[in-house]
Amino acid sequence: MNKVIFDSELCKGCGLCAAACPKKIISLDTSVLNGKGYHPAQLTDEKSCIACASCALMCPDAVITVIKE
Contact indicator for 58, 2 with CB cutoff of 8 Å = no
Confidence band for 65, pLDDT divided at 50, 70 and 90: very high
> Residue 28's pLDDT is what?
98
> Residue 14's pLDDT is what?
98
> Residue 1's pLDDT is what?
82
Residue type, 61: D
> Residue 36's pLDDT is what?
95
Hey, what domains does the chain have and what are their CATH numbers? 3-67 (3.30.70.20)
Using CA atoms, how far apart are residues 18 and 21, in angstroms rounded to an integer? 5
